[in-house]
Amino acid sequence: MSLLIALFAACSQDGAERTTLVAPGAPPAALVAPAWAAEGMDVVAYWQGGQLSYDDVTGPMKPQLNQMLAEYMMGRYDAEYQAVQSAMDEKILEAEAKEQKLAAVEELLKKEVSDKVAKATEPEIDEAYQMLQRKLRGQSKEEARPTLEAAVGQKKAGERYMAYIEELRTKYQATVQLPFPDVPRIDVSVDDDPTVGPADAPITIIQFAEYQCPYCGKARESLDRVEKQYEGKVRLVFRDFPLDFHPRAVPAAVAANCAGKQDKYWPVHNAIMKDQQSLADADLLAIAKTAGVDIASWEECRKDPAMEAEVAKDLDDGRKAGVSGTPAFFINGIFINGAQPFEKFKAIIDAELKRKG
């Protein structure tokens, strides 16, 4: 990392701080390249008797460097996409206000959003009270009622606004056509891990995740929408990436993989992801029974050291690809990190389908 730190520091320093850096192809007079430095080679360091090329130094770091570049490019794309969509939505709202003969967009939003937000119900207030316990600092529900009603109202207004915007986008046939960036791709093996979808699907999504991570469970919502909207076009692959501080992640992974030996992987996998708080051996046994697994064979499989070794192999492959947390996804080699919304998957998948023709 010392090379990268030096380079990045140099970009942020003024000229007075650059005396330690050597411009490519122009070493100081006191450091004239010796005869043994190969011509045309991208040499980043040399000394009497040896030299280092850029690839020598950065080769082992390539997955991490590609991941850093991909995250930057995706972050920039997201910011640009949001800016374009926001500007487009403003124009659509202006057009709709004009069509309804309203003086301003504010009048339109009052009519179509604010006036259509229902008053907070008691169950909604109860739910908000539970969620905001910390911020309320011991206030009773009645004491906090104005705050709770405002919180529920704000949430419902936001939901109504998004629904209305979607209605207008459909009405005006609005779409964002921002070109998707040519993001670096990382070569990740499917290995022999569980898959859903056709093997020859144009889109392969490899997920590295684990069973005790709540964000991995949350990501399931986006993946379910992907499966439904792109049926037949997407293959989903699940690879284990148990985190050290989640002690039940490995036992849960072994339990699912052993169920897979009996073609029961996905029923067990989905059941575990649905209730990530219940991962004790008794819980896993109950899930296996419900899935119709032959328990004697399943229990014997769980004792086999090869099963934990398989989980460890997934973990090692993920680390080599630059994965450091869960969930992590590779969509045709394009890396995205975390429990991302469906729209993030859609943008990449649509661009990939277009690219493949």
- Please tell me the predicted confidence (pLDDT) of residue 41: 54
pLDDT tens for each residue of 208-247:
999 999 999 889 889 999 999 999 999 999 999 999 999 9
Percent of the chain's residues with pLDDT above 90:
66
Residue 245 belongs to a domain: yes
272: containing domain: 195-356
CA 134 remoteness from chain centre: 29
Cα separations in angstroms, 348 against 21, 245, 285, 340, 351: 38, 32, 38, 12, 5
Confirm if 298 and 262 have CB atoms less than 8 A apart. yes
Closest CA to 80 of 153, 207, 178: 178
* Angle at alpha carbon of residue 99, lines to 95 and 105, rounded to 5°: 55
Residue 89 three-state SS: helix
Is 0.75 topped by the overall pTM?
no
Q: How many domains does the chain have?
A: 2
Domain CATH code at residue 270: 3.40.30.10
Per-residue DSSP letters for 49-68? TEEEEHHHHHGGGHHHHHHH
- Please tell me the predicted confidence (pLDDT) of residue 24: 38
Q: In this model, does residue 27 exceed pLDDT 50? A: no
Strand blocks (E) in the chain = 43-47, 50-53, 195-196, 203-209, 234-240, 328-331, 334-337
Radius of gyration of the chain (CA): 27
- Beta bridge mates, 196: 236
State mean pLDDT over 271-286.
Answer: 93
Longest dimension (CA), the chain: 84
Residue 132 belongs to a domain: no
Least confident of 16-30, 140-154, 303-317, 331-345: 16-30
Q: Which pLDDT band holds residue 272 (cuts at 50, 70, 90)?
A: very high
Q: What residues have CB less than 8 Å from 214, skipping those under 6 apart?
A: 276
Residue 187 belongs to a domain: no
- Looking at 45, 62, 79, which one is the last position of a domain? 62
Least confident of 31-40, 280-289, 291-300, 304-313: 31-40
Q: In this model, does residue 295 exceed pLDDT 80? A: yes
- Looking at 31, 62, 93, which one is the last position of a domain? 62
Residue 283 belongs to a domain: yes
CA distance 254 to 284: 10
Q: In this model, does residue 8 exceed pLDDT 70? A: no
Per-residue DSSP letters for 262-325? TT-HHHHHHHHHH-TT--SHHHHHHHHHHTT--HHHHHHHHT-HHHHHHHHHHHHHHHHTT--S
Residue 280 belongs to a domain: yes
Residue 248 three-state SS: coil
Residue 135 belongs to a domain: no
Q: What residues have CB less than 8 Å from 5, skipping those under 6 apart?
A: none
pLDDT tens for each residue of 195-208:
999 999 999 999 99
- Please tell me the predicted confidence (pLDDT) of residue 61: 86
- Looking at 13, 42, 62, which one is the last position of a domain? 62
Q: In this model, does residue 32 exceed pLDDT 60? A: no
Q: In this model, does residue 13 exceed pLDDT 90? A: no
- Please tell me the predicted confidence (pLDDT) of residue 23: 37
Q: In this model, does residue 65 exceed pLDDT 90? A: no
Residue 148 belongs to a domain: no
Residue 248 belongs to a domain: yes
- Please tell me the predicted confidence (pLDDT) of residue 64: 79
Confirm if 96 and 108 have CB atoms less than 8 A apart. yes
